[in-house]
Structure 1
């Protein structure tokens, strides 16, 4: 597994653990307050979506060129 997979898996596990703790009325892991977590997740999701839906990297630019050659993009 690569580093990104491990980080995403750990983050998912912590999120589910917190959700289960809250569900059963127990004290969640005191990392940050809920508002900070919500803003952080919204920020990360928007940056990730922007990055993935635009041709920013060299690989992305090559992909766009290939799509344009095959008339699959505007």
Structure 2
């Protein structure tokens, strides 16, 4: 079994949760078991906004942390290639 980086695992799990949550919202399903009588329009709007922010945040964190998108990242990738440390 491979030794996975703890941060990578956490970011991946959070990303999956965010994507599942957003998919459920897009399909009109509430991830929480709350009846319509319990939820008013403001609470619903806040929950949707929070879900969107959570999804965007975890997506950016997972993409940024696991890819070489900065100048420093490109330098690191070049060093890894020079030392034959890439897959």
TM-score, normalised with respect to structure 1: 0.51
Q: Tell me, which stretches of 5 or more residues in structure 2 are unaligned?
A: 1-42
Q: Which has the higher contact order (CA 8 A, sep 6+)?
A: 2
Q: Tell me, which stretches of 5 or more residues in structure 1 are unaligned?
A: 1-29
Verify: 1:49 aligned to 2:73, yes or no: no
Kindly report the root-mean-square deviation, in angstroms, between the aligned alpha carbons of the 2 structures. 1.8
Structure 1 residue runs of 4+, over 4 Å off? none
Aligned residues: 44
TM-score, normalised with respect to structure 2: 0.44
Q: Output aligned runs, 1:52-71, within 5 Å.
A: 52-71=65-84
Q: Output aligned runs, 1:1-74, within 5 Å.
A: 33-74=46-87
> 2:86, 2:66 → 1: CA distance?
13
Is the partner of 1:73 in helix, strand or coil?
coil
| 1:55 to partner: Cα distance | 0.8
